[in-house]
Structure 1
Amino acid sequence: MTVPVIALCGAALTYPGPPPVAALLPCDLTVHQGDFVTVVGPSGSGKSTFLNIVGLLDSPTEGCYLLDGIDTGRLDDPARSALRGRRVGFVFQAFHLLPHRSALENVQLALVYQRASRRERAERSHEALQRVGLGHRIHALPTTLSGGERQRVAIARALVGRPSLLLCDEPTGNLDTATAAQVLDLLEELNAGGATVVVITHDLMVARRGSRTLHIRDGILHEPAAMPS
């Protein structure tokens, strides 16, 4: 049995008060390598808290979180940051690309703190851009790219470090319907190639793209029972 990528065991997060706010109630979740999980819920439901825990931006105040079998609660802040840098690739609604750097240079920035030569960084970044269908636009500036192309650069940047988990926060929020569908198609292709993908969204149409869909409301995370075929 392989070690799960994500294992939440009674994980919860309460922000201190006064009054204390229970942002995520105790939950259990297992995500295996190659899963495509979507997490859907309205604004204020606890989606951001869930993302912050899974992305190692916050630690649960109750229970535990294992990433690739590593008990993250036992790590100090520098070790947790290092683990996040190695194991989690983030894709956000805002593309966060440097406007005066090329697509290739934006992707390379994700490797600055890894022990890789300049040549290796360039080769891996080119490979990541090819993987998302932008091998022909490596020298383009973000200002010359469409919204969908900029999100593809952001996905390449998330992939270049070869993370265990691709964690996407409203990745289609700034895109029109047709372009959003193309980005979701790309995430499905990456998942079919072995990537473990978790997408946080408020959009039910996006949520339906996952092979598993979790619902969160009022800090309660649950996975509806699958309908019989």
Structure 2
Amino acid sequence: MTAAPDPAPPPVIEFRGVALTYPGPPPVEALKECDLTVARGEFVAVVGPSGSGKSTFLNVAGLLDTPTRGRYLLDGIDTGALPDRSRTALRGRRIGFVFQSFHLLPHRTALENTALAMLYTSVPRAERLARAAEALARVGLSPRADATPGHLSGGERQRVAIARALAGRPSLLLCDEPTGNLDSENAASVLALLDELHAAGLTLLVITHDRDVAARAGRTLTIRDGLVHT
């Protein structure tokens, strides 16, 4: 008897009629009703003018804001059914964040900054440091593990920020203008790293104004006036 094939994994992101309205007066419909699926391993760019709703979209996808309508399933888990504490824990386990500003502590080493992502998890300290070292190796910064941010280039600081996001072994990497503070050489280095991470199977969702970044994605979403065009 032939065994049944393993079921396909659920999408990483599934929006079912998701919308977010900020209370007024007057109420602001920051994200209009949206149906969206992001499959495992996709590289999706999100573009749109300033004030279009990109940050709101990112906050909802990153479990920083809760939709006022619809359902958001992350890795098949209905996030709206979770209490706040469980949502926070799910975010820490499944999502890594990379921002335009690196948000590194200036007096901590690259290794320590990377390990900070797991500070409020149940991961023991020794394992946190081991995972941080592994993440720094993944972004090519093992030789700089003991350097503080002031002794790192802009590109290296962003690589530390990416390593910090990877240390928790997330299924989704959310990037907000990851090359926005970098010169062209460092930006190219970070983009090459994102390509490598995508090739290794990581799911990427990148908000950007940079055409070079968007061109690398397999799919581009455009947001205008809170409406997501897929």
Q: Above 0.5 in TM-score?
A: yes
Provide the residue aligned with 1:58 in structure 2: 65
Please give the TM-score of this superposition, normalised by the length of structure 1. 0.95
The question of 1:139 aligning with 2:149 is answered no
Q: 2:117 aligns with which of 110, 126, 138?
A: 110
Q: Matches of 1:119 and 1:75 in 2, distance apart?
A: 30
1:127 to 117, 122, 134: 134
Instruction: Give the Cα–Cα distance (whole angstroms) in 1 for the partners of residues 159 and 17 of structure 2.
Output: 35
Matched, 1:79 2:111: no
- Map 1:68-217; keep pairs closer than 5 Å: 68-217=75-224
Kindly state the Cα deviation for residue 116 of structure 1 after the two structures are TM-superposed.
2.6
Other-structure match for 1:227 = none
Shift of 1:32: 1.1
Instruction: Using the aligned pairs only, state the percent identity.
Output: 69
User: What is the alpha-carbon distance in structure 2 between the residues aligned to residue 20 and residue 76 of structure 1?
Assistant: 25
Deviation at 1:40, TM superposition (A): 0.5
What CA distance in whole angstroms lies between the structure 2 residues aligned with 1:46 and 1:117?
A: 38
Name the amino acid aligned to 1:157. R
Partner of 2:26: 19
Following the alignment from structure 1 to structure 2, what is the Cα–Cα distance between the partners of residues 187 and 8?
24
Aligned counterparts of 2:121 and 2:66: Cα–Cα separation in 1: 24
How far has the Cα of 1:100 moved from its partner? 0.3
Question: Whole-Å Cα distance in 1 between the matches of residues 185 and 210 of structure 2?
Answer: 15
Distance 1:108 1:153 in 2: 10
Residue 89 (structure 1) shift: 0.4
1:208 counterpart SS class: helix
Q: Hey, what's the Cα distance between the residues in 1 that align with 2:91 and 2:9? A: 20
- SS of structure 1 residue aligned to 2:216: coil
- Secondary structure in 1 matching 2:134: helix
Separation in structure 2 between the aligned mates of residue 143 and residue 42 of structure 1, nearest angstrom: 33
Alignment RMSD, CA only? 0.9
In structure 2, the residue matched to 1:44 is 51
Q: Is the 8 A contact 1:43 1:202 kept in 2?
A: no
1:21-78 deviations in Å (ceiling 9; x for gaps)? 1111111111111111110011000000000100000011111110011111111211
Task: Report the CA distance between 1:9 and its aligned residue.
Answer: 0.7
Contact 1:214 1:221 in 2 (8 A): yes
Q: What 5-or-longer segments of structure 1 have no aligned partner?
A: 224-229
> CA–CA distance in 1 between the matches of 2:225 and 2:165?
30
In structure 2, how many angstroms separate the alpha carbons of the residues matched to 1:204 and 1:46? 19
Which consecutive residues of structure 2, in runs of 5 or more, have no partner in the other structure? 1-7
In structure 2, give the amino acid aligned to 1:49.
T
